[in-house]
A and B are shown apart, each in its own frame.
Chain A
Amino acid sequence: MDITAQQNLVHQTRDARRAIDFPKLSPAERDALIKKYHPDHRGQAYRSIKFGPNAGESTVTEVATLLEGDSPISAEFDLTPEYSVDVLVVGGGGAGCAAALHAHAEGSNVLLATKLRLGDSNSVMAQGGMQIAVAPDDSPVQHFLDTLKGGHMKNDHDLLKVMVEEGPSIGQWLLELGVLFDRQADGNLHVKKGGGSSKARLLTCSDYTGLEIMRVLKDEVLNQKIPLLEFGAVVELLSDGKGACTGAVLQDLDNKRYVVVAAKTVILATGGIGRLHIQGFPTSNHYGATGDALVLAYRMGVPLVQIDTFQYHPSGGVYPEQLVGALVTEGIRSEGGHLVNAKGDRFVNELDTRDVVSSSIIKECEEGRGVRTAAGRVGVWLDTPLLDVAHGPGTLDKHFPAMVRQYERYQVDIRKDPVLIYPTLHYQNGGVKIDVKSETPAPNLFVAGEASGGLHGRNRLMGNSLLDLMVFGKRAGQTAAERAKSLKQGKLTLDHLSQFRTEAKRHQVSTGMTSPMVLPAYTRQV
């Protein structure tokens, strides 16, 4: 059957489906579904980490191999610094920009290094919005409980409380920088309901929330004249020989030259792991999402938390081919869009948490109720035209201009036809262990944003990432700047790396892999 014929079934069943109220699963049903179908529970994709702070713990093979990889920096490397700064921020996405701006505001001498351009990140793609408890019927406590429930009760309570309580003041900060959040008629912030949340809590800038925030933050980083090193990838950290971080070795990707940075404090804000294509999944992530901070912190002896759990976003593109893995905004489901299988039936409450929805899509497809494309891919329908039917013509144009455009480029009109989706590798739920100030157990080494772990438990709620970036980017930036005021620049050594290599040898580990990966190897060997 061609795609058009299959789409017709979605049109035909729309009215009948609208009459059905699909209940959310009970906690027991959720757990059973996830255990059976979520990729986090595919045992054969996992293995034990052989050495280091998380030795013996299980994670996906791709991450374990990366962590056990060797540094490109040799023991005899000349550590004469080219830069000497108070705060080195690595990463030019939301967390990195927030950290740099706040550290700069505290009077620190900051260097912001990023392996692509300033702003090239996952943050810029965030479409769904940013969760902040601003509505009168909502509260930070509600936000806390929703997030905890979404994270399967495994979230770090201290980190989470900080995030939900500082949310409103972060909203204020962004407004003061000129971010144009959607408003209600009375001038208050418009809030939308996101998957897994009991209250409408998503602040949005139509479906360009991340783009709008990043346009503003980038512009402000430039206005503040914060020194930048674009196309500068961090490949190793430096330590004082006693466990504290004292700088980093970067590589200028334009000329391959190594650049040593002496820094009183270092903030890693390098994002997630999508480009490792865990378990062969396509990804919604940006080009540089190769888990660099995980590797660097790990070699410094810093443990990772919940590094066995990843988020597979329910709606990655399946058709057309060019959109495979690309994110289709969750906003469609937030506004009532149905998920529909090949038989024309709904099969899950679309506003359940991402892990539940993804598991249910995988279940439909594995049990033969998926829709197959000519290219051999499988997925389920997301009924986009329903939004115009339910809320009036023009709804999609007004609320989802980015998505309308995303498909229009390939001659697909989402106002007329539903789109095919399947889960895509989206987010690293865990990450580097941090405290409430965003500092790792290695003194003067901070990690902020997706690279850090603990806050989201085993499943991140929609809209909590943008807030995480801003809250912990700020905390890292301010704390690092404060710290740097009373700190002398420490010695620059690679002692931690020697220890790491000794450990690798002792465990007879030689993966032959150099890490961090920096960029995925997409170039075909011709």
Chain B
Amino acid sequence: MANNSIKPQQFAEQASEIQPQMVTVEIEGKPFQVPAGVTLMKAMWYAGKEVLRGAGCLGGFCGACATYYRTKDDPKVKTCLACSMAVEDGMSFSFMPAFPARKAIYNLPELKDPKQDLFELYPEAPLCRNCNACTEACPQKIDVREGVWKAVFGDFKAVADMFMDCVMCGMCAPVCIADIAPNLVAVYASRSQGVHFTEKPEGLATRIKKIADGEYQEDWDRILQLSDDELQKTSASIT
């Protein structure tokens, strides 16, 4: 916004003051000089690019900055999160555009047999041809291909465990020759595991009932009529 009296851009550039050494990187096929060691995201800002699509949490959790990159002289194109990867000289990178993967629509509690329903919701899931491209594309190093098969064979517990690290960047989807979006299959399997195949914690139900039955009312009455001083003493006394 215009005439901003706050100058947060110093944070994007900070590293440049500290490490004046510059490297050349290619962003979307065009060379730019950027400070050595900054993240790919900061390199974008340094290069003068406005970032709207492609920046989210900036902490490696939201998957907005899914990026393809290649290091100098290496033909292998790899994947990363631009907020969590440092530039190096000769690197070439581009953000991944939004990929139009299909998400199935479902009402989880109403599903009678989620492990079977998977084949209706995601009929492409069992068509995996084991090329392993999804696993290679995962910046979180999840064994995605294995996860798809676990889902197909109904081991939803394993899927949930394997995909706890999944930031939903979706980089597994464009590479799939069977048009599977493994991250979406995994969310379905993981949520189904929670809704249908995980026991209800008894302690929680007990606590909810106690609250509803007013079991804490006496404590509340006692606490809430205290003066500020007394309340402070009471709070301080608990360890």
Contact = CB atoms under 8 A, between A and B. Distances in A.
Interface in A241-278: 253-254, 275-277
Interface in B30-67: 37-39, 42, 45-53, 55-62, 64
Interface in A54-78: 62, 65-66, 72
A521 B204 contact: no
Contacts of B203: 134-136, 188-189
Interface in A95-148: 116-117, 119-122, 124-125, 133-136, 139-142, 144-146, 148
A208 B164 contact: yes
Contact of A178 (B191, B207, B220, B231): B191
Contact of A523 (B51, B85, B187, B231): B51
A178 B140 CA distance: 22
A512 to B, nearest CB: 4
Interface residues of A, number: 101
B5 A149 contact: no
Contacts of B3: 512-514
Contact of B49 (A153, A282, A523): A523
Contact of B208 (A124, A169, A183, A286): A169
Contacts of B64: 116-117, 120
Contacts of B14: 324
B12 A524 contact: yes
Contact of B192 (A172, A178, A410, A523): A178
A180 B55 CA distance: 27
A180 B62 contact: no
A284 B211 CA distance: 36
A284 B191 contact: no
A93 B230 CA distance: 38
A180 B190 contact: yes
Interface of A: 24, 27, 62, 65-66, 72, 116-117, 119-122, 124-125, 133-136, 139-142, 144-146, 148-149, 153, 157, 161, 165, 168-169, 171-172, 175-180, 183, 187-189, 198, 205-206, 208, 210-212, 215-216, 218-219, 222-223, 225, 231, 253-254, 275-277, 280, 282, 284-287, 320-322, 324-327, 375-376, 401-402, 405-406, 409-410, 511-515, 517-526
Given A522-B12, A522-B45, 11 more contacts: A117-B56, A117-B64, A142-B238, A144-B223, A149-B236, A175-B201, A219-B187, A276-B6, A321-B18, A324-B15, A513-B4
